[in-house]
Chains A and B, each alone.
Chain A
Amino acid sequence: MKSYLVLIIVIVFAFLQVTFVDYFNFFGAKPDLLLIAAFIGGLSLKLGWALGIGLLSGILKDSFLLNRFGLNAALFPLWVLLSKKLSRRVSIEDNLSRAILIALISLLNNIINGIFLFYAGAMVPLGIFLRIAIISSFYTALVSYFTLRIIIK
C-alpha cells in the first residue's frame, strides 16, 4: 500500500474517532480506530514510514485527550515496531491473526493508559477499569477485522 493512502486512512480515522465513534460506544468503551490505522501502517509500510505513521496517529489521538503528556504518541510507534518485529517471526498473514494481535496490543495500550490515569490521581473503580480495558480491546479487534478485510485485500 502507498504511504499517502495510509496517511489518508490515519486522517479519516482520526476524524471518525472524535466525531462518529462516540455514537457506537458499548458499555462506555469504544474502538480505537487510530490504533488500527497505526497497525495498518505497520503492516503495509517500511519501518521508517510505519514509525512515522504510528507517531502521527499517537499525536492525533493525544491532541483530543485532556492529558498534557503524549502517552499515545510514545506508545503507538512502539506498537508498530512490535508488530513489525513479530510479523518477521510469526505469520500474521490472515485477518484473524491480525485482529488477535490488535486485541493484545489494544489491551496492553488500555492497561497502560488506565494505570497512567490512576497515577495521575483519578480513582476509577476496578470493575469499570477492567470493563473498559477488555471491552474496548475486543471491540477494537472486531472493528479491525472488518476494516482490514476492506482495506488490505
Chain B
Amino acid sequence: MFKLTNKKLTFILISFLFLVIIIFSVAIFSPPVNRILRLPLGISAALRREIAGAIFYHRNLLQNEALKRETDFLKNKINSLNESYLENSRLKELLSFKKASALKLIAARVIARSADSWSLNITIDKGSYNGIRQGMSVITYLGLVGRVVEVAPSFSKIALLSDPNLGVSGIVQRSRQEGLVSGTLGNSLIMKYLPEETDIKIGDTVVSSGLDNVYPKGVLIGKVIEIGREFSGLSCYALIRPAVSFSNLEEVLIVVP
C-alpha cells in the first residue's frame, strides 16, 4: 500500500510551499529581468530591422515607389478634405459644438514580443519616464493596437487587441451598432453581444466607440468578414479582420489622454 512517512510528507509540503512562492513571486522577478534585457533587446530589434532591410531590399524598393504614389494621391485628397474640414469647423462653431481635441501621441519602438502562443503582447522601449501610464491606449496610423497593461520606468508591456483578455467597445460605422470587440488568439477579432436583428453586413467598418473611456472614439478596428449566431441563440457575433497586422508591428503610438 501507499505509505506516507513523515519525511516524505515534509518534502511534499515544502515542495508545494516552494511552488506557491514561485507562482506568486514572478511579479517581483519580472521588472528586473525586463530591465536587464531592455538594452540588448533594443539592439537586437535595431539589428533585426537592418537585416530585414537588407534581405527585403527589392521588395522595399517597390513598396517605396508605391507608397510615394499613394502619398501624392493622399496629399491631393488632404487638400480637398481640408476645405471640408474648415467648412465643418465654421459650421460647428456656429452651432456651438464642443471641439474635440487632437490626440497627443508618444511614439515607441517594439523591442520584444510575447514568449508563448497563449497571450499576445509586446514590450516597447518607453516607460513611465516618458510619460506612459497604465491603461493608455495604443494605436498606429492604421488603427487600434491595444492597451498599456504594465509600466516600468524604461519599458512598458502592451496587450494587443488580439489577446482574448482585452475587450474594447466597438461600433459599426454604418449602422452605429455597438458591441464588445475582443481577441481570439487567431487572425480575427470577435464582436460579441450583438442583438439578433442586428444591422451589420460583411465588409462593414468597425471603429472604437469611445464609450469605455479607455480608447479614443473613432479609431479604426477592422472590417467585418463573417457574421454568425452565438451558441446560446440569444445573440449574434461578427468576426472582424483587424486593420493592423499585429505580427508586423515595429513602431506604435501611445495616446496620452
Contacts and interface: CB of A to CB of B under 8 A. Distances in A.
Contact of A30 (B26, B112, B117, B119): B117
Given A64-B112, A65-B119, A19 B41 contact: yes
A67 B119 contact: yes
Contacts of B30: 62-63
Interface residues on A, range: 35 or more
Contacts of B187: 28
A114 interface: yes
B45 A69 contact: no
Nearest to A113: B118
Interface of B: 19, 22-27, 29-30, 33-34, 37, 40-41, 44-45, 48, 112-119, 121, 123, 149-150, 157, 159, 163-165, 182, 184-187, 247
Nearest to B30: A63
B165 A74 contact: no
B247 A25 contact: yes
A122 B165 contact: yes
Interface string A15-50: 101111111010011101010000000000000000
Contact of A63 (B26, B40, B44, B164): B26
A28 B112 contact: no
A125 to B, nearest CB: 6
A60 B165 contact: no
